[in-house]
A and B are shown apart, each in its own frame.
Chain A
């Protein structure tokens, strides 16, 4: 099973490993969602959707379906 941003717990951080290039919008990359960058789950809305993230200093909210396309390695 792939571990993605959608698996993060609140306050947990991870390193972006891979992004599904075909599916993800370019805008997300432009906001700094690139392999190697750190991502932190800041807050979730009810039903864990959308997710409020801090990616490398960029604060943004994305929907759960998008989050499952961003593969990460969870930091201890």
Chain B
């Protein structure tokens, strides 16, 4: 095995950098996080000729080395730290033929760091169509580099790139221009004070807000021989630097690039006319949202039903095959349903990311931001928050993951925090049964009252999400870029390979990231429900059998009674009874208390738990409904489920964070327990007080 070459892929967003990465690594790639931050780290192995291997790191897209987000900081921190294990032996800058001018800005900066650099010009297949011709040898000479003309789409040029990587030692490390001419005096002093350091590296340390080892800005500022400048002057110098670089690039391209203007324009203008139109743009966008919603709400229900049935089948068969005992019970009732609870989300996640990657890849997502920015900005959200908020109506878990596409951290965090307010499909079973119980089946001005209530609950969820976003926007003190510059890339046909990789990668990150937490909590909940303190739990079977000895109950009904008795005296039952004083003012009794506690696993468990407690045996909706209607309120008298307590329960489920899977994914996406904890506490409080007020006013 030969030496492994460290390669860093660098480039502007929308240059097809990821396509090049996918072509180089194939399935030998993995996605993780940079330590301590939420930036995705993509790396992979590429097999080069002669048995040499290259470690490819796909760095976050950036327009320059002047960082303005944590993603971009990652790029600078790596390129300035020679001790980093990922420090590149060779940098591959990916550019796109149609935006070569802008892409070269970053290239000239990388060259200044004196790292061996290869320039990839991607989308070379478009050159003819766009009337572009390029003098490659001349350009290589001017830029002091080697160029690979690549088309990731047509799969050409990748072998040339591999050839260049393997021969990286032959590459020039000389800068292609002299950036210090922006202020010769300043840079002369800098050179005198730090003779052993690269000048451009020093300049980046001075101007960028990043950490790297022993050479930090304080050390430079402290140096007596060197007088730095105030922030305003430094910013002007950075602007001068940019202008200087563009001047060099313009001069270079004038000599090497020719564009036949007649061939340009075309599809882009036509599509933009429709897709960003003041009316049609919105109509089309909402049409697409509807399609996405349909997919995760409706289409995914088929695979989900199948998964559900398979796990139930597996669990029941295991119970028969394995010897009875606590171990079998742990597997069949704890672990298998826990795993099922993870796998069941895969169809929704896959569908959502299938659509989102197509929207991103095609360049349409930028148009969405353009259309929605003004509306969403007022609430501290991004134009891109619309997709997570709408998909949250199906399930909060893929929706929270979809927030990854929001670049600005504050906007992304707010989106993640408010998404669980939208009415997800798991709330539906709870809503439907309670609405059926307490809302009369009558018409009001031609509308079905029950349907109207359901719609109000959906609106309430959305309203609460937007309102809390606005509050968080005012409260959260997070440094975020206060400006808005969004590139509107060219429309492209999405590449199936990229979409496929993205779907697989997102699904994997859910299963292995949040899945672990979900499995752990399901097992804990199973333990709490299957064990109880004291003799009553231990001898449940005997006690119940003795009690009903004279009534000759059918066997099934007796088993149901035993299950109900066991649950009442299990640990979770104790918790439900312990919180009874807290839930009585909301109009609930301890049975509902237990159902609320256990539905922390997932909201829809509420119905199943009530079914067990009322020992109705099956969770057929009609049966439970009839049984619930006969419940009486022990403190107030009269039926337990009245209009007041029903509305109180509806509001509780509308606002409460009753979903451990969501908490797990928020922990995964924000890399700390702080934000899911905040969600859990504040949403529970809001839910509690909303329910409290509703019951006390209506009773």
| Residues of A near any B CB (own CB < 8 A) | 21-22, 25-32, 34, 42-43, 45-47, 49-50, 52, 56-63, 66
B238-A26 in contact (CB<8A)? yes
B484 → chain A closest CB, angstroms: 5
- 8 Å CB contact of B99 from A25, A58, A63: A58
B366-A61 in contact (CB<8A)? yes
Q: Which residues of A contact B105 (CB under 8 A)?
A: 30
A46-B487 in contact (CB<8A)? no
With A29-B243, A32-B246, A34-B243 given, is the CB distance from A50 to B370 under 8 Å?
yes
- If over half of B's interface residues share one DSSP class (helix, strand or loop), that class is named, otherwise mixed; here it is helix
- 29 A–B contacts, CB within 8 A, in A order: A21-B239, A22-B232, A25-B483, A25-B485, A26-B239, A26-B242, A27-B64, A27-B66, A28-B483, A28-B485, A30-B63, A30-B105, A32-B102, A32-B246, A34-B242, A34-B246, A42-B269, A42-B272, A43-B370, A45-B371, A46-B278, A50-B370, A52-B272, A57-B101, A57-B102, A59-B490, A61-B370, A61-B486, A62-B485
A27–B242 alpha-carbon span in the complex (Å): 10
Q: Which residues of A contact B432 (CB under 8 A)?
A: none
B276 within 8 A of partner (CB): yes
Nearest first, the 3 A-B pairs at minimum CB distance are A59-B488, A25-B483, A61-B486
A32–B102 alpha-carbon span in the complex (Å): 7
A57–B489 alpha-carbon span in the complex (Å): 11
* B96-113 residues at the A interface, CB under 8 angstroms: 98-99, 101-102, 105
B674 within 8 A of partner (CB): no
B485-A49 in contact (CB<8A)? no
B488-A27 in contact (CB<8A)? no
With A34-B246, A46-B278, A52-B370 given, is the CB distance from A27 to B486 under 8 Å?
no
Q: Chain B, 364-397, contact with A by CB distance < 8 Å: what is the 0/1 string? A: 0010011101100000000000000000000000
A32 → chain B closest CB, angstroms: 6
Q: Which residues of B contact A63 (CB under 8 A)?
A: 373, 483-484
- If over half of A's interface residues share one DSSP class (helix, strand or loop), that class is named, otherwise mixed; here it is mixed
B154 within 8 A of partner (CB): no
B68-A25 in contact (CB<8A)? yes
A74–B488 alpha-carbon span in the complex (Å): 23
B483-A30 in contact (CB<8A)? no
A22 → chain B closest CB, angstroms: 7
A58–B63 alpha-carbon span in the complex (Å): 12
- 8 Å CB contact of A59 from B63, B369, B484, B489: B489
A55 → chain B closest CB, angstroms: 10
From A30, A42, A60, residue with most partner B Cβ within 10 Å = A30
Q: Which residues of B contact A58 (CB under 8 A)?
A: 99, 102, 487
B192 within 8 A of partner (CB): no
A26–B99 alpha-carbon span in the complex (Å): 18
A50-B374 in contact (CB<8A)? yes
A52–B484 alpha-carbon span in the complex (Å): 12
- 8 Å CB contact of A66 from B99, B101, B239, B484: B484
With A22-B235, A25-B485 given, is the CB distance from A30 to B370 under 8 Å?
no
A10–B273 alpha-carbon span in the complex (Å): 11
From B63, B239, B371, residue with most partner A Cβ within 10 Å = B239
B549 within 8 A of partner (CB): no
With A21-B236, A49-B374 given, is the CB distance from A32 to B101 under 8 Å?
yes
A56–B490 alpha-carbon span in the complex (Å): 15
- 8 Å CB contact of B483 from A43, A57, A59, A66: A66
A43-B485 in contact (CB<8A)? no
A29–B237 alpha-carbon span in the complex (Å): 13
B276-A45 in contact (CB<8A)? yes
Q: Which residues of A contact B246 (CB under 8 A)?
A: 32, 34
A52-B485 in contact (CB<8A)? no
Q: Which residues of B contact A56 (CB under 8 A)?
A: 101
Can you name the residue of chain B whose Cβ is closest to the Cβ of A49?
B374
Q: Which residues of A contact B102 (CB under 8 A)?
A: 30-32, 57-58
A60–B488 alpha-carbon span in the complex (Å): 5
* B460-488 residues at the A interface, CB under 8 angstroms: 481, 483-488
A20 → chain B closest CB, angstroms: 11
A26-B374 in contact (CB<8A)? no
B283 → chain A closest CB, angstroms: 13
- 8 Å CB contact of B374 from A22, A27, A46: A46
Q: Which residues of A contact B487 (CB under 8 A)?
A: 31, 58-60
Q: Which residues of B contact A57 (CB under 8 A)?
A: 98-99, 101-102
A30-B373 in contact (CB<8A)? no
Q: Chain B, 350-375, contact with A by CB distance < 8 Å: what is the 0/1 string? A: 00000000000000001001110110
Q: Which residues of B contact A22 (CB under 8 A)?
A: 232, 235
A15–B139 alpha-carbon span in the complex (Å): 28
A46–B280 alpha-carbon span in the complex (Å): 12
A46–B373 alpha-carbon span in the complex (Å): 10
Q: Known pairs A25-B481, A27-B483, A45-B374; list 12 more (Cβ under 8 Å).
A: A21-B236, A22-B235, A29-B239, A29-B242, A30-B63, A30-B242, A31-B63, A32-B246, A43-B272, A46-B278, A59-B268, A61-B373
Q: Which residues of A contact B101 (CB under 8 A)?
A: 32, 56-57
B238 → chain A closest CB, angstroms: 6
Q: Which residues of B contact A66 (CB under 8 A)?
A: 483-485
A38 → chain B closest CB, angstroms: 13
Q: Which residues of B contact A26 (CB under 8 A)?
A: 64, 66, 68, 235, 238-239, 242
A65–B268 alpha-carbon span in the complex (Å): 26
From B242, B278, B371, B490, residue with most partner A Cβ within 10 Å = B242
B60 → chain A closest CB, angstroms: 15
Q: Which residues of B contact A27 (CB under 8 A)?
A: 63-64, 66, 68, 483, 485
Can you name the residue of chain A whose Cβ is closest to the Cβ of B374?
A49
A7–B412 alpha-carbon span in the complex (Å): 32
* B21-80 residues at the A interface, CB under 8 angstroms: 63-64, 66, 68
A33 → chain B closest CB, angstroms: 9
Can you name the residue of chain B whose Cβ is closest to the Cβ of A19?
B239
Q: Chain B, 263-281, contact with A by CB distance < 8 Å: what is the 0/1 string? A: 0000011001100101000
A12–B235 alpha-carbon span in the complex (Å): 31
B370-A45 in contact (CB<8A)? yes
A67–B31 alpha-carbon span in the complex (Å): 38
Can you name the residue of chain A whose Cβ is closest to the Cβ of B245?
A30
Q: Which residues of A contact B242 (CB under 8 A)?
A: 26, 29-30, 34
B373-A50 in contact (CB<8A)? yes
B235-A30 in contact (CB<8A)? no
Q: Which residues of A contact B276 (CB under 8 A)?
A: 43, 45, 52
From A27, A34, A56, A63, residue with most partner B Cβ within 10 Å = A27
With A45-B276, A50-B370 given, is the CB distance from A62 to B66 under 8 Å?
no
B99-A60 in contact (CB<8A)? no
